[in-house]
Amino acid sequence: MTEKYKNKYRISSARLNGWDYGWVAAYFVTLCTKKQEHYFGTVVRDEMQLSLIGRIVYAAWMKTPTIRPDMNLELGEFVVMPNHFHAVIFIGDNEFNRHPDHSTTIPAKECTDAMPCVSISAKELRDAKHCVCTWQKNSVETEFKNLFAAQSKNLASIIRGFKALVTINARRLTSDFGWQARFHDHIIRNEKSFAKILEYIKYNPLTWEKDKFNKMG
């Protein structure tokens, strides 16, 4: 997977000012369930055992590139944990990010932080971290519309559609299911950060007992 990154998605510090989240890049995202409830399964002997809702999350994420073929998306490493989800996603060159006037930035002040404890330098985090609100505080009907209505063709729209698809199907099993309204993203600027993030995702089940998201740890 590190071969996939190489220098194709390398981002200079200068470009991060006024960054557009529809631009070509590799992104690391973290999503949490409402109140960090354990809807997605359990970790048994250092391996994640998915619940039915956990399987819904897995299947919905796998469908993301085919649902949005016009965005030239590619999935990287990802993991479904008991109450959260980590993933790397690549946004490639497409018709929506080739124009300099295309702008889809979202105010960070609207968001809360869900950053996991990935060992990345403070400067990289300061430059590249960003909190995005998916505006999912309202009804499933609103979420369902977001699947088919006009999108802003950026990272937030991808996550909004993914969360809505999971919510619609999960609530057929339990009406209480919900996500945190916000998610955390990180622009992966270089191969070093990319490798650290992949390692963090891969070994997340092994470190679950000490994980910041483990309410029972």
Instruction: Give the count of domains, the chain.
Output: 1
Query: Would residue 142 count as lying in a domain?
Result: yes
CA 110 to chain centre: 17
Q: How crowded is residue 166: how many other Cβ atoms within 10 Å of its Cβ?
A: 25
What is the per-residue pLDDT for 127? 39
Query: Would residue 2 count as lying in a domain?
Result: no
Average pLDDT, the chain: 77
The pLDDT tens digits of the residues spanning 73-115 come to 999 999 999 999 999 999 999 998 886 554 444 444 333 333 3
The answer to whether residues 146 and 203 touch, using CB atoms and an 8 Å cutoff, is: no
Residue 24 pLDDT more than 50?
yes
Integer Cα distance of 181 and 31 in angstroms: 9
What is the end-to-end Cα distance of the chain in Å, rounded?
Answer: 31
Query: Would residue 68 count as lying in a domain?
Result: yes
What is the per-residue pLDDT for 190? 87
Q: Kindly report the length of the chain.
A: 217
CA 217 to chain centre: 23
Query: Would residue 5 count as lying in a domain?
Result: no
State which of 2-6, 10-14, 75-79, 206-210 shows the largest mean pLDDT: 75-79
What is the per-residue pLDDT for 212? 79
What is the per-residue pLDDT for 5? 52
Helix (H) or strand (E) holding 170: helix 155-170
Q: How confident is the model at residue 211 (pLDDT cuts 50, 70, 90)?
A: confident
Burial (CB count <10 Å: 0-12, 13-18, 19+), residue 105? middle
Which range of residues forms the domain containing residue 127? 23-208
What is the per-residue pLDDT for 119? 44
pTM greater than 0.85 (yes/no): no
Query: Would residue 66 count as lying in a domain?
Result: yes
- The SS3 call for residue 146 is helix
Query: Would residue 95 count as lying in a domain?
Result: yes
The answer to whether residues 153 and 98 touch, using CB atoms and an 8 Å cutoff, is: no
Kindly state the percentage of the chain with pLDDT values over 70.
66
Query: Would residue 133 count as lying in a domain?
Result: yes
Integer Cα distance of 49 and 65 in angstroms: 25
Residue 35 pLDDT more than 50?
yes
Q: What is the mean pLDDT of residues 188-213?
A: 89
What is the per-residue pLDDT for 32? 96
- The SS3 call for residue 4 is helix
- What CATH code is carried by the domain that includes residue 104? 3.30.70.1290
The pLDDT tens digits of the residues spanning 139-194 come to 343 344 444 333 478 999 999 999 999 999 999 999 999 999 888 888 998 888 99
Integer Cα distance of 64 and 29 in angstroms: 14
Instruction: Quickly tell me which residue has 């609100």 as its tokens.
Output: 133
Query: Would residue 112 count as lying in a domain?
Result: yes
